[in-house]
């Protein structure tokens, strides 16, 4: 579920970050604010907004259901969507930071060597921003695993389908004698977070060494 959230959210995050860094257009501030909204809003509100938009009677949800028979609410896909929405700002920020530090001088050089816009994006800009993109992905993945409010609001708490780690811990705590299970799950959570952070640090360092920075 988290993997799905990251793999679908990351390319969009890269695109958004690129647009925000490279282009000045009316509504840029609004886009920027929208992207960062889930980070500032209470997660439950994000979940509720998703419910309004992507619910079976929401403006997008109804289209998805009528045309493709896809229902997002209370499904694994829905949980992924909620996770993606929550981690999106984190990923955009990470990617944006590395795009901003990526020197446009290299793009200029690529232009004089005959590389067009997409050619430059894929062969020069994105590879140079890859540390930020990977770090964004890893941190996004770790954040996904810990999503609570938005998921429970939008996709409920269905074990094995839409249940994230904190949801499972919360559920365990509601059952008498569930403390042991909660402790166990909490340890898993701590380990995953730690591994995620260390991994992102290590990967970032490796790539930067390869790039000679």
Size of the site for another protein (CB under 8 A): 20
Binds another protein (CB under 8 A): choice among 110, 188, 192, 197: 110
- Among 26, 27, 176, 212, the residue binding another protein under the rule CB under 8 A is 212
- Cβ distance to another protein smaller for residue 126 or 150: 126
Please select the residue that binds another protein; options are 114, 160, 176, 177, rule is CB under 8 A: 114
Site track 129-158 with another protein (rule: CB under 8 A), x = hit: -x----------------------------
Report if residue 118 touches another protein, rule: CB under 8 A.
no
Tell me the two tokens of residue 121. 């994006």
Which one of the spans 23-31, 88-96, 124-132, 150-158 is the region binding another protein (CB under 8 A)? 124-132
Does 95 contact another protein by CB under 8 A?
Answer: no
Could you say which of 48, 74, 106, 170 contacts another protein (CB under 8 A)?
106
| Cα gap 188→166, rounded to integer Å | 11
- Pick the binder of another protein from 26, 116, 159, 177 (CB under 8 A): 116
Smallest distance, Å, CB 15 to another protein?
A: 20
Query: What does the H/E/C string look like for the chain?
Result: CHHHHHHHHHHHHHHHHHHHHHCCCCCHHHHHHHHHHHHHCCHHHHHHHHHHHHCCCCHHHHHHHHHHCCCCCCCHHHHHHHHHHHHHHHHHHHHHHHHHHCCHHHHHHHHHCCCCHHHHHHHHHHHHHHHHHHHHHHHHHHHHHCCCHHHHHHHCCCCCCCCCHHHHHHHHHHCCCCHHHHHHHHHHHHHHHHHHHHHHHHHHHHHHHHCCC
Binding site for another protein (CB under 8 A): 105-106, 108-116, 119, 124, 127-128, 130, 210-213
């Amino acid at each position: 579920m988290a993997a799905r959230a990251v793999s679908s959210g990351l390319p969009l995050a890269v695109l958004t970050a690129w647009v925000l860094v490279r282009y000045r257009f009316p509504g840029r501030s609004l886009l920027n604010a929208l992207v960062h909204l889930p980070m500032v809003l209470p997660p439950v509100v994000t979940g509720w907004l998703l419910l309004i938009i992507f619910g079976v009677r929401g403006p997008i949800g109804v289209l998805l259901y009528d045309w493709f028979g896809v229902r997002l609410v209370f499904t694994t896909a829905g949980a992924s969507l909620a996770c993606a929405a929550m981690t999106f700002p984190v990923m955009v920020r990470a990617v944006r930071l590395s795009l901003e530090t990526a020197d446009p001088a290299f793009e200029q050089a690529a232009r004089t060597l005959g590389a067009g816009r997409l050619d430059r994006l894929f062969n020069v800009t994105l590879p140079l921003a890859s540390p930020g993109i990977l770090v964004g992905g890893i941190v996004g993945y770790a954040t996904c695993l810990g999503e609570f409010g938005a998921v429970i609001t939008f996709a409920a708490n269905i074990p094995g389908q839409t249940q994230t780690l904190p949801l499972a811990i919360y559920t365990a705590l509601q059952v008498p004698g569930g403390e042991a299970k909660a402790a166990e799950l909490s340890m898993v959570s701590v380990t995953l977070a730690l591994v995620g952070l260390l991994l992102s640090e290590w990967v970032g360092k490796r790539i930067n060494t390869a790039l000679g920075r």
